[in-house]
Amino acid sequence: MYKILEKQTLSDVVKLMIVEAPHVARSAKAGQFVIVIADEQGERIPLTIADHDKQAGTITLVIQEVGKSTMQMGQMQVGDSFYAIAGPLGRPTEIENYGTVICVAGGVGIAPMYPIARALKEAGNRVISIIGARTKALLFWEKRMRAVSDELVVCTDDGSYGRKALVTEPLKEILHAQDEQIAHIWAIGPTIMMKFVSLTTEPFKAPTTVSLNTVMIDGTGMCGGCRVAMREGARFVCVDGPEFDGHLVDWNNLLNRMQFYRAEEQLAVDQWHVHQCKLERVAVE
């Protein structure tokens, strides 16, 4: 059993839990994930490892309540235990000293981005971070991200905090600037956000890595549920990812597959298209 040692409420629908899982904490690396089962009859839910402490034997999980199983997890309290946690799974982020890098995170994607940004900073990179959410109430870990970034830009769709903009706007401005070369970009967030980040960076030929969060069942590549179409063929997020070259992902295929299962993905898609249309209209005017 995997006991919950600490719980925090990051927003109305996002909970943070520090969980006792020594076998995961010993070998976890930035970019990896675990599959969590709440009880004996529970679903297998993939969650990115937001942080880990080898000495304490704990991992930090950030849970967004979007369905029956994640809502059940969100209601668990300190002292309760998860039935099972499998991991760490997936390929870790390739960390090295690239130079100047950009970390773009949206919504719950801020949680898995934090250990990546921290590892990149520790490796000697100059880290520019852009974080965003629909509204101020959904933003979290600003201080943590600022602590591991040389520069931090905060955006909200509605302008309730920071800059009123989609994360792609400051990203494009930074890429247009000629004062420094951007060596690599990471993006984590709603699928539609990662698609537009990849479309934004492709004309600049800036290497872009995205972290995909598809539907999973076994997490070992056997079920095929997490299959994602790439330009060079199909890949499995659980064993080949979760990180992929954003310029090679067939985004339309991925969005169609995910919208079949997830109502919130459709909501995110609709919101991004509305904002994108507004931006294009302003540009034309």
Of residues 87 and 220, which shows the higher confidence score? 87
Confidence of residue 285 (pLDDT cuts 50, 70, 90): very low
Distance set, CA 75 to CA 7, 229, 274 (Å):
10, 35, 33
At 136-185, the pLDDT tens digits run: 988 999 999 999 999 999 999 988 998 999 999 999 999 988 666 899 99
- Flag whether pLDDT at 262 surpasses 90: no
> What mean pLDDT is predicted for residues 229-248?
84
| DSSP 3-state of 209 | strand
ω into 22 cis (within 30 of 0): no
Residue 224: other Cβ atoms inside 10 A: 11
Return all residues near 122 (Cβ < 8 A) that are at least 6 apart.
none
Residue from 36, 27, 162, 58 nearest 106 by CA = 162
Burial of 277 (0-12, 13-18, 19+ CB in 10 A): exposed
Residue 280 binned pLDDT confidence (cut-offs 50, 70, 90) = very low
At residue 283, the pLDDT reads 42
- For the cut 80, the answer to whether the pLDDT of residue 269 exceeds it is no
The confidence score (pLDDT) of residue 42 equals 83
Average pLDDT over every residue of 233-242? 80
Q: Tokens 């991925």 appear where? A: 254
- Please check the confidence at residue 277 and state whether its pLDDT lies above 70: no
Closest by CA to 272, choosing from 171, 146, 117, 166, is: 166
Task: Write down the mean pLDDT value for the chain.
Answer: 85
Q: Are 200 and 172 in contact (CB under 8 A)?
A: yes
pLDDT at 41: 85
Higher pLDDT, 236 or 156: 156
pLDDT digits (tens, 9 = 90+) for 194-229: 999 999 999 999 999 999 887 776 666 677 677 788
- Measuring CA to CA, how many Å separate 240 from each of 30, 70, 96, 210? 15, 25, 20, 13
Could you tell me which of 189, 103, 181, 188 has the C-alpha nearest to residue 149? 103
Q: Which residue has the higher pLDDT, 181 or 6?
A: 6
Token pair belonging to 262: 């997830």
* CATH T-level fold of 100-284: Rossmann fold (3.40.50)
Per-residue pLDDT tens over the stretch 90-142 = 899 999 999 999 999 998 899 899 999 999 999 999 999 999 999 898 899 99
CA distances from 18 to 8, 52, 61, 63, 279 (A): 9, 9, 6, 11, 40
CATH no. of 2-89? 2.40.30.10
Residue whose tokens read 């994602």: 228
Domain range summary for the chain, segments of one domain joined by +? 2-89, 100-284
Q: Which of 51, 50, 59, 150 is nearest to 109 (CA)?
A: 50
**273 has a pLDDT exceeding 80:** no
Alpha carbons within 13 A on the beta-carbon side of 278:
12
pLDDT tens digits, residue range 10-61? 887 889 999 999 999 999 998 899 999 988 888 888 888 999 999 999 999 9
Spatial separation of the C-alpha atoms in residues 161 and 154, rounded to whole Å: 8
Strand 126-133 to strand 100-106: parallel, antiparallel, or no bridges (unpaired)? parallel
Of residues 260 and 133, more confidently modeled: 133
Strand-pair partners of 155: 132, 163
